[in-house]
Amino acid sequence: MPELPEVEVVRAGLEPAVTGATIRSVTVFDERSLRRHVGPSEDFIERLTGLTFSAAVRRGKFLWLPLAPSSPSSALEIQESHALRAEMGGGGAHSRDIPEIPPETEPGAAGATPGEALVVHLGMSGQVLLRDAQQPDDSLLRIRLQLDHPRLGPLRVDFVDQRIFGSMSIDDLVATPDGRAGGLGDGAALVPRQVSHIARDPLDPAFSDEQFFAALAKRKTGVKRALLDQTLISGVGNIYADESLWAARIHYDQPTSTLSRARARTLLAEVRLVLGKALAEGGTSFDAQYVNVNGASGYFSHSLNAYGRQGQECPRCGRPIVRESFMNRSSHLCAFCQRVR
């Protein structure tokens, strides 16, 4: 699963390309990629076509693109482009171009209603790729959005997914309970309904360390299970949990109730450090699946200390890193540096 750094790499790549861009057409090549969308593909296509993306936002591993009515200038451009395409006889079986003038933007309307967002789940192998018109189709292409950007012109957002655990869906935006921004990338205090139960991630300025420590102390669970619990802290998956625990010298099964405040503080600091470092290196790419919007891999896999390094030396003490089965997956640790205390 892509974790916070990999999803943030995608969000940061999408942000300049999609913000302010109008959705000219939508093509669904594989309905399985709409598994989280309530309604058929026709509904997905009709509701998106003609709208504009106002931002690219992320909380933890969740990514969404808030939707706004099309601006009058881009609506005009779309009409022109539609007229051109109609002359050329464009349009596919499951694709729909804008048939009429999009509704005019009413001043203040966007701020008055929370609206909707396109939610992107990357799943195990989902990729969001920015393409220009000349680039050939990917064989695993599931959904395509044709956009018109006011400065960049026409571009394609291709959702490519090998294993089809990922998806796109339209969801309502709801107010955040604390009135703070819903995620990174947009100041609006809104979050998609399906993300509203997800905790803030540790790189979010509105993340409360004290709330996290208090919740951690109350849990009757092992510390790694707590780190993976997206309702407690979001964005951390197996890779960065193992790396943070190694750095903080904490065993994955250490009961959270026995973790001192000082050690919990160290752990959270290491979580932030490892996420930040991974982000700076473009994320961790295994099997070339977690890629940025240009299809390029990150290189944090070369900086891992524990994850995937079973049998190799612990960079701290030289003893071998071991892999133990954990929650249908595995944990990687140095059994000497990381002991249950």
Q: Which of residues 304-323 bind Zn ion (CB under 5 A)?
A: 314, 316-317
Rounded distance between C-alpha atoms, residue 74 and residue 199, angstroms: 36
Burial tier of 318 (Cβ tally within 10 Å: 0-12, 13-18, 19+) = exposed
Tokens (6 digits) for 200: 């803030």
> Which residue, 108 or 311, is less far from Zn ion as judged by CB?
311
> Does residue 250 touch Zn ion according to CB under 5 A?
no
Contact predicate 301/3, CB 8 Å: no
Given the complex with Zn ion, which of 184 and 337 has the nearer CB atom?
337
CB of 336 to Zn ion, least distance (A): 5
By residue count, the chain amounts to 341
Shortest separation between residue 337's beta carbon and Zn ion, angstroms: 3
Binders of Zn ion in range 37-66 (CB under 5 A): none
Check: CB of residue 3 under 8 Å from CB of residue 240. Answer: yes
Could you tell me the smallest distance in angstroms from the CB atom of residue 333 to Zn ion?
9
CB 184 within 8 A of CB 8: yes
Least distance in angstroms from the C-beta of 334 to Zn ion:
3
Q: Using CB under 5 A, which of 57, 155, 322, 337 touches Zn ion?
A: 337
Catalytic option among 2, 69, 192, 202: 2
Contacts of 6 (CB under 8 A, 6+ apart): 122, 283, 284, 285, 290, 298
From the list 3, 6, 243, 270, the catalytic residue is 3
Instruction: Rule CB under 5 A: say whether 334 interacts with Zn ion.
Output: yes
Q: How far is the CB of 200 from Zn ion (least distance, A)?
A: 32
| Residue 293 interacts with Zn ion (CB under 5 A): yes or no | no
Beta bridge partners of 186: 183
Is residue 203 part of the contact set for Zn ion (CB under 5 A)? no
User: Contact 97/23 with Cβ under 8 angstroms?
Assistant: no
Counting contacts by CB under 5 A, is residue 280 touching Zn ion?
no
Told to check if 335 binds Zn ion by CB under 5 A, we report no
Instruction: Say how far apart CA 215 and CA 64 lie, in whole Å.
Output: 27
Scanning the structure block, which residue is given the tokens 């803030």?
200
Give the distance, in angstroms, between the CA of residue 309 and the centroid of all CA atoms in the same chain: 26
Please indicate whether residue 2 is annotated as part of the active site: yes
By beta-carbon proximity to Zn ion, the closer residue of 57 and 250 is 250
Q: Can residue 333 be called a binding residue for Zn ion (CB under 5 A)?
A: no
Residue 191 or 334: the one with the smaller Cβ distance to Zn ion is: 334
Considering only 68-76, 82-90, 300-308, 329-337, which stretch makes contact with Zn ion by CB under 5 A?
329-337
When the beta carbons of 165 and 336 are compared against Zn ion, the nearer one is 336
Reduced to 3 states (helix: H, G, I; strand: E, B; else coil), residue 155 is strand
Query: Of these residues, 59, 61, 156, 249, which one is catalytic?
Result: 61
Q: Rounded to whole angstroms, what are the CA distances from 301 to 266, 287, 305?
A: 23, 11, 9
Give the interface size with Zn ion as a residue count (CB under 5 A).
Answer: 6
Token pair 């599931």 is found at: 142
For the bound state, the minimum distance from the C-beta of residue 300 to Zn ion, rounded and expressed in Å, comes to 20
Report which of 254, 270, 125 is spatially closest to residue 202, judged by C-alpha positions: 270
Catalytic residue (one of 261, 329, 339, 341)? 329
Active site includes 61? yes
Helix (H, G, I), strand (E, B) or coil at 12: helix
Cβ nearer to Zn ion, comparing 218 with 339: 339
d(CA 150, CA 129): 19
Q: Return the number of the residue (116 or 242) whose C-beta is nearest Zn ion.
A: 242
Side-chain-facing half-sphere of 164: CA atoms under 13 Å = 11
| Options 28-36, 102-110, 254-262, 326-334: segment touching Zn ion (CB under 5 A) | 326-334
Among 102, 30, 31, 32, smallest CA distance to 67 is for 102
Least Å distance between CB 310 and Zn ion? 13
Active-site positions read 2-3, 61, 329
| Residues that bind Zn ion in the complex, under the rule CB under 5 A | 314, 316-317, 334, 336-337
